[in-house]
A and B are shown apart, each in its own frame.
Chain A
């Protein structure tokens, strides 16, 4: 159980016009599972490497339980990283791979064997100790890599794209295994991913990073419902954006007056952007004359199994709406409909 503080971390690489990591600060509580989320090249893995000590920050500090670890060499930090491609030592069998860190510490072989067996049982692979990495499937290799990291009893466990090399069905299995082990052992854990779904399903909190800058650090739900800006909203699948002009109690837009229940409107600039998730938009054939009700036309209907997706145009503004297919009204392309943007579901942000 370790509290982690990343304070104003900066890293520059020669030949780059902007810092790879630009003044990032994150606080991670004991036993939390944190996702560093962002597109490729945004600086996520650079942050992990600075935490392990494989890279030195140009500025800032990294603290474990309020003690700076910058002067501690990698091998003494007890911060263990599981690499994206597992990196099992090909010339060692599973037992030797898992027991590697204890062997480096000089532990007694009997103790190592016992701990290796415990770890293999923890990752649900108790009978493969004698096998070579080549004889394992991708999922098994990932579990062995996880066991090898956990046996060191790390203060902080770092996972680099832990699910990206796995098939879809193995991902679900591995995701459940990682969360259950992490909660059982209470180890503070940070993982890197470019997949927002993976981040949402695994993490207690997400640090969203674009171009080396931290956009937002919050619980997953917040990224869907209250994104910090348009880029963050788009990264989490946001497709509906409406330009607004702020007024006293409402907002003007190209489709008419928009009202929101949002509490922080004072912090908004005069020009701002509204977003609403497709599943929160309601459509009907009748005008109920409520707030945020607009007349529109269906431009396309896409059936995708459980849900049906509608593209609607309202006074030249395109919006997307997603409704459950079951019990849906008979709405077709070119139909005129009334679109409701519920004022408790609409989210307005500066951009």
Chain B
């Protein structure tokens, strides 16, 4: 027995060390920097000045709170719309029909696509000089491409939302397809024989059955879009700016004093995401206990 325990400890130690050193080590180093500890520039005192500056100072507070609002807006809307789009696509594609494999492939193709490529694609298609604006101008629906509404690099983050919908709906789609296929159609057939019409079958049968998976996937997508940098960096505006872009700019600032604010901002982003994950686990545990 003792030998078995030693073997287990020895086998899990290398991956555990990598996680502790690289991941938690990085977080710990960022945390101490956010608390003002920067020996490289002679700062050894631990304080909450950077957090105070970010949250309440005249210089940064407005940037932070508008950035947070934009972050929440973009993440909520893109997650919700990507989930809805994927749900309807999965419901349409799950039944056997001619060309199902092709449709499935086209929809799933977004998944391995890098976010950067998707962001560039959004610029090509939805910007005022993009494909859509030119097509509508050619068709005389708008008088010139410049009349096309500003959807990319706009203050409401429409371009960012579109990029996340495009990309993340494929993730939702794959999860939903596997859930729907494992469920089969028996529950719906049963509900139909019990008098449920199409809408009632969707509302009272499909939605409750897929909701746990949809909810789990939504948490992952929300957490990702909340903390991701590259899409808002490419498709966002200077003000309001999404928090990850703001944090990275603090980090790149030649004034090393700004690094504490950048780290504080990163820790705040991580905390918000962690709170969401905790809420998710609490909700799922409550559900399990209830069942």
Residues of A at under 8 Å CB distance from B?
A: 49, 52-54, 74-81, 83, 85, 87, 89-91, 100-101, 103-105, 132, 134, 148-149, 152, 158
User: Is there a chain A Cβ closer than 8 Å to B187's Cβ?
Assistant: yes
User: Is there a chain A Cβ closer than 8 Å to B291's Cβ?
Assistant: yes
Q: Given that A74-B193, A148-B194 are known contacts, is A104 also in contact with B200, CB under 8 Å in the complex?
A: yes
Q: Is the CB of B196 within 8 A of A75?
A: yes
Grouping DSSP codes into helix (H, G, I), strand (E, B) and loop, the B interface class, with mixed when no group exceeds half, is: helix
Residues of A within 8 A of B69 (CB): none
Q: Given that A104-B200, A134-B291 are known contacts, is A87 also in contact with B193, CB under 8 Å in the complex?
A: no
A49 to B191, CA, bound (A): 13
Task: Beyond the given A89-B187, A132-B290, please list 18 additional residue pairs across the A-B interface where CB-CB is below 8 A.
Answer: A52-B192, A53-B193, A74-B189, A75-B192, A75-B195, A76-B195, A78-B195, A80-B193, A80-B194, A81-B189, A85-B186, A90-B209, A90-B291, A100-B191, A104-B191, A104-B195, A152-B194, A152-B195
Question: Which chain B residue has the least Cβ–Cβ distance from A102?
Answer: B195
Q: Is the CB of B193 within 8 A of A54?
A: yes
Residues of A within 8 A of B187 (CB): 87, 89
Residues of B within 8 A of A134 (CB): 291
The distance from the CB of A125 to the nearest CB of chain B, in whole angstroms, is 19
Number of B positions contacting A (CB below 8 A)? 18
Per-position binary interface string of chain B over residues 186-210, scored 1 when its CB falls under 8 Å from any chain A CB and 0 otherwise: 1101111111110010001100110
A78 to B192, CA, bound (A): 10
Most buried by B among A52, A104, A132, A148: A104
The distance from the CB of A92 to the nearest CB of chain B, in whole angstroms, is 8
Question: Which chain A residue has the least Cβ–Cβ distance from B196?
Answer: A104
The distance from the CB of B194 to the nearest CB of chain A, in whole angstroms, is 4
Residues of B at under 8 Å CB distance from A?
A: 186-187, 189-197, 200, 204-205, 208-209, 290-291
Q: Given that A83-B190, A87-B187 are known contacts, is A105 also in contact with B208, CB under 8 Å in the complex?
A: no
The distance from the CB of B196 to the nearest CB of chain A, in whole angstroms, is 5
What are 26 A-B pairs with beta-carbon distances under 8 A? A49-B189, A53-B193, A54-B193, A74-B193, A75-B193, A75-B194, A75-B195, A75-B196, A78-B195, A80-B193, A81-B193, A83-B190, A87-B187, A87-B190, A89-B204, A89-B208, A100-B194, A100-B196, A100-B204, A103-B204, A104-B191, A105-B195, A132-B291, A134-B291, A148-B194, A152-B195
Q: Is the CB of B200 within 8 A of A54?
A: no
Residues of B within 8 A of A53 (CB): 192-193
Q: Is the CB of B190 within 8 A of A75?
A: no
Q: Is the CB of B186 within 8 A of A89?
A: no
Residues of B within 8 A of A52 (CB): 189, 192-193
The distance from the CB of B16 to the nearest CB of chain A, in whole angstroms, is 36
Q: Given that A91-B208, A132-B291, A134-B291 are known contacts, is A104 also in contact with B189, CB under 8 Å in the complex?
A: no
The distance from the CB of A64 to the nearest CB of chain B, in whole angstroms, is 14
Residues of B within 8 A of A83 (CB): 186, 189-190
The distance from the CB of B149 to the nearest CB of chain A, in whole angstroms, is 42
The distance from the CB of B97 to the nearest CB of chain A, in whole angstroms, is 13
Residues of A within 8 A of B186 (CB): 83, 85, 87
Q: Given that A91-B208, A91-B209 are known contacts, is A75 also in contact with B197, CB under 8 Å in the complex?
A: yes
Q: Given that A75-B197, A83-B186, A87-B187 are known contacts, is A54 also in contact with B205, CB under 8 Å in the complex?
A: no
Question: Which chain B residue has the least Cβ–Cβ distance from A91?
Answer: B208
| 6 residue pairs, one from A and one from B, having the closest CB atoms | A101-B194, A91-B208, A104-B195, A74-B192, A104-B196, A81-B193
A52 to B185, CA, bound (A): 14
Question: Which chain A residue has the least Cβ–Cβ distance from B209?
Answer: A91
Residues of A within 8 A of B291 (CB): 90, 132, 134
